[in-house]
């Protein structure tokens, strides 16, 4: 028989007892609890699982061609995607397809465990503050999550959950190579050689998030994740074949009209990459972070595994001097990444508003 929840025991069930949203749905819940019902302006309209947003093909880039005769065209395609839509798929990316499959399996294995096993990784009791499991009523996302920040291989072997430590570590390492390659191209286009001394600024803080989006009794009322832009430089996303991610078009053009949402269907074996706020700041606005969000479905749960490349907490982020020189003025002021991150987390899901924190408004 389905359980009945009031707000307090809902919080206890989901968060304190570690059942997550997944546990809610497995309890037989047939109605979205009030706390998860989104305000009308945050809802993702859909009828019979067809979202209002259009379905558009994003740029699909064969990254292996960076080492081949198409090198210049691939560089151009990366730069164009980063300057316009801010999201693109890559294939022949160097991450074995088997690794991607194992990663999704590992996510399922972790979330399929009984609540008490997941609870071990909850904030405050987790063996490491860098590994945190949370089902949440806070932020009202219809999603469970395991967040893992990389510190060292030793810590990974000691503290990360057995179900996923090997595969997440491999994923983080191979995607770091890929991210570095892409950042090299993008930064070179700005007139700067990316060398080891800049590593801290571009990817000093790497984290992997395992997302589990359970089916929702009414996907019109819930969101998997509300509209936001990522705060770092680049994000690489592995996802299963369910779909549900949509992005907001920033300017009229081949991907739609400014302000429209487009659905991004997964491409088997491809990785989805997007630009984050820090790269928008470093590039003085040339490369653009993008608002995105995730809808739920009432038929299938979904897993996704983003690897976020962020500046280190103590890294100063500001437009690159070479770009400012060319542009004549800086559009953003310098700040510590940790201050930017704190501001963003305090704001919650506000689209791209976080950038206002550092935006220089003309007198
Ligand atoms: O699940 C997805 O497709 C996107 C995940 C995401 O936006 C996030 O974890 O910040």
Eight-state DSSP code of residue 230: -
For the cut 70, the answer to whether the pLDDT of residue 75 exceeds it is yes
Ligand 1, residue 244: give the atom nearest the CA: 3
Q: Using DSSP bridges, classify how beta strands 261-263 and 54-55 pair: parallel, antiparallel or unpaired.
A: parallel
| HEC readout, 159-174 | HCCCCCHHHHHHHHHH
User: How much of the chain, in percent, has pLDDT values that exceed 70?
Assistant: 93
Ligand 1 in reach of 242 Cβ (< 6 A) = no
Q: What is the pLDDT of residue 49?
A: 40
What tens digit of pLDDT does each residue of 205-236 get? 999 999 999 999 999 999 999 999 999 999 99
For residues 241 and 103, give the distance between their C-alpha atoms in angstroms, rounded to a whole number: 14
For the cut 60, the answer to whether the pLDDT of residue 79 exceeds it is yes
Sheet holding 292-294, edge to edge: 54-55, 261-263, 245-248, 292-294, 225-228
* Pick from 38-42, 86-90, 207-211: least confident: 38-42
Element (H or E) spanning 271, and its range? Answer: strand 271-275
Q: What is the pLDDT of residue 48?
A: 36
Ligand 1 center to 268 CA (angstroms):
17
Domains of the chain in start order, with CATH, are 7-357 (2.60.120.330)
Ligand 1 in reach of 245 Cβ (< 6 A) = yes
Ligand 1, residue 213: give the atom nearest the CA: 1
Which backbone phi and psi does 316 adopt, to 5 degrees? -90, 130
For the cut 90, the answer to whether the pLDDT of residue 350 exceeds it is no
Ligand 1 in reach of 209 Cβ (< 6 A) = yes
């Amino acid at each position: 028989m389905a359980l009945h929840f009031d707000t307090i025991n809902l919080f206890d069930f989901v968060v304190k007892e570690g059942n997550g949203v997944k546990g809610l749905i497995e309890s037989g819940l047939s109605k979205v609890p009030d706390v998860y019902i989104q305000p009308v302006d945050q809802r993702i309209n859909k009828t019979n699982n067809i979202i209002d947003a259009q379905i558009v093909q994003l740029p699909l880039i064969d990254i292996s061609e960076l080492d081949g005769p198409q090198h210049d065209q691939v560089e151009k395609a990366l730069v164009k995607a980063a300057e316009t839509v801010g999201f693109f798929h890559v294939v022949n990316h160097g991450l074995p397809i088997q690794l991607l499959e194992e990663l999704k399996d590992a996510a399922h294995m972790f979330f399929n465990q009984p609540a008490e096993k997941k609870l071990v990784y909850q904030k405050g009791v987790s063996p490491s503050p860098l590994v945190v499991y949370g089902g949440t009523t806070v932020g009202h996302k219809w999603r469970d999550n395991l967040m893992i920040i990389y510190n060292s291989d030793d810590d990974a072997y000691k503290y990360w959950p057995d179900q996923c430590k090997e595969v997440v570590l491999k994923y983080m390492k191979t995607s770091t190579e890929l991210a570095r390659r892409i950042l090299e191209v993008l930064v070179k286009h700005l007139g700067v050689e990316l060398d080891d001394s800049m590593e801290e600024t571009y990817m000093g803080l790497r984290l992997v998030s395992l997302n589990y989006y359970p089916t929702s009794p009414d996907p019109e009322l819930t969101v998997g994740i509300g509209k936001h832009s990522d705060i770092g430089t680049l994000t690489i996303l592995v996802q299963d074949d369910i779909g549900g991610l949509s992005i907001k078009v920033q300017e009229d053009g081949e991907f739609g009209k400014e302000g429209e949402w487009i659905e991004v269907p997964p491409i088997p074996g491809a990785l989805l990459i997007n630009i984050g706020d820090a790269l928008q700041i470093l590039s003085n606005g040339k490369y653009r972070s993008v608002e995105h969000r995730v809808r739920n479905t009432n038929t299938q749960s979904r897993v996704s595994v983003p690897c976020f490349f962020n500046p280190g907490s103590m890294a100063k982020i500001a437009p690159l001097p070479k770009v400012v020189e060319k542009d004549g003025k800086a559009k953003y002021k310098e700040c510590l990444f940790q201050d930017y991150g704190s501001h963003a987390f305090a704001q919650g899901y506000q689209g791209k508003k976080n950038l206002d924190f550092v935006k220089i408004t003309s007198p």
